Amino acid sequence: MTKTYLTLLVLTAGVLSCKQLACAADPTHADQPALPPAEAISRLKEGNGRYTSGNQQHPHESSEERTYMATASYENLGMTAAEAATRRAELKTSQHPFAIVLSCSDSRVPPEIVFDQGLGDLFVIRVAGNVIDDQSLGSIEYAVDHLAVRLIVVLGHQRCGAVKAARETIAAKSEAPGHIQSLVTAIQPAVEATAKGDLKTTVEANVRNVAQALRSSTPILKPKVDSGELKVVGAYYSLDTGAVAFTDEK
């Protein structure tokens, strides 16, 4: 095999790879339809409405189970084996999520269940306190840039343990053990801004801070937000009722 032939092979592979990435990032590509932000929000609201009323399209997510999860942990069974197999077959070669959800890691707030969505519908990043770091931001950028997702939801929730711990740690002028302190540091601006408020006020402030940080993030997110191509909204989940209130729909 000649040196020239090897060079041509490398160049050809590079061109094909670039074309594949461009196709994945192109929202107008026939195999990658992009759902406009307003339609994506409507779909999430409709799904949450089904969830809170007990009329889910996905099985084993009853309103009784939701009530139980408001105060205790519960193992949700998800889809039936046949339904999951069918959906997995559809997603073997590509994914087309219509929204990104950055949510807390709390086991009582799984976005796919809360919004009554299934495999391949949501691109989910879960971190205690729904905060961002370089890795989570990179994941979000990937979904926006390569999967053509046009809506980001920052989802906080009632009685968030991470925010509560941050409030208590800062009030005590101490530090949390291990890497938990990194969460306290990330949530600290919201704690300081709501020193006279309650936990819910701090949770909502933290959601607003994270949403604004995403809107202003360069080089990928901010230009798309400014052009109206991408929307970032905040939301608050009630453990008591299962309802999601969109708190910041800029």
In angstroms, what CA-CA distances link 202 with 62, 162, 210, 238? 30, 11, 12, 15
In a domain, 64, yes or no: yes
pLDDT category of residue 31 using cuts at 50, 70 and 90: low
Report d(CA 191, CA 230) in Å as an integer. 28
Pairing of strands 231-237, 99-103: unpaired
Domain range for 45: 39-248
Q: Is 213 exposed, middle or buried (0-12, 13-18, 19+ CB in 10 A)?
A: middle
pLDDT category of residue 155 using cuts at 50, 70 and 90: very high
Phi and psi, residue 105, nearest 5°: -80, -5
pLDDT tens digits along 157-203 = 999 999 999 999 999 999 999 999 999 999 999 999 999 999 999 99
Q: Residue 93: which of 31, 34, 142, 139 has the closest Cα?
A: 31
Quote the mean pLDDT of the chain.
84
In a domain, 154, yes or no: yes
| Tally of domains within the chain | 1
In angstroms, what CA-CA distances link 117 with 9, 43, 89, 96? 43, 9, 17, 13
pLDDT tens digits along 108-135 = 999 999 999 988 899 999 999 999 999 9
In a domain, 15, yes or no: no
- What the block records as the tokens of 105 is 């890691």
In a domain, 228, yes or no: yes
pLDDT of residue 83: 67
In a domain, 191, yes or no: yes
* 199 Cβ contact list (under 8 Å, min separation 6): 159, 160, 163, 164, 167
Which CATH number goes with the domain that contains 241? 3.40.1050.10
Q: Residue 124: which of 144, 110, 138, 145 has the closest Cα?
A: 110
**pLDDT surpassing 70 at residue 244:** yes
Query: Bridge partners of 151?
Result: 231
- State pTM to two decimals: 0.79
In a domain, 76, yes or no: yes
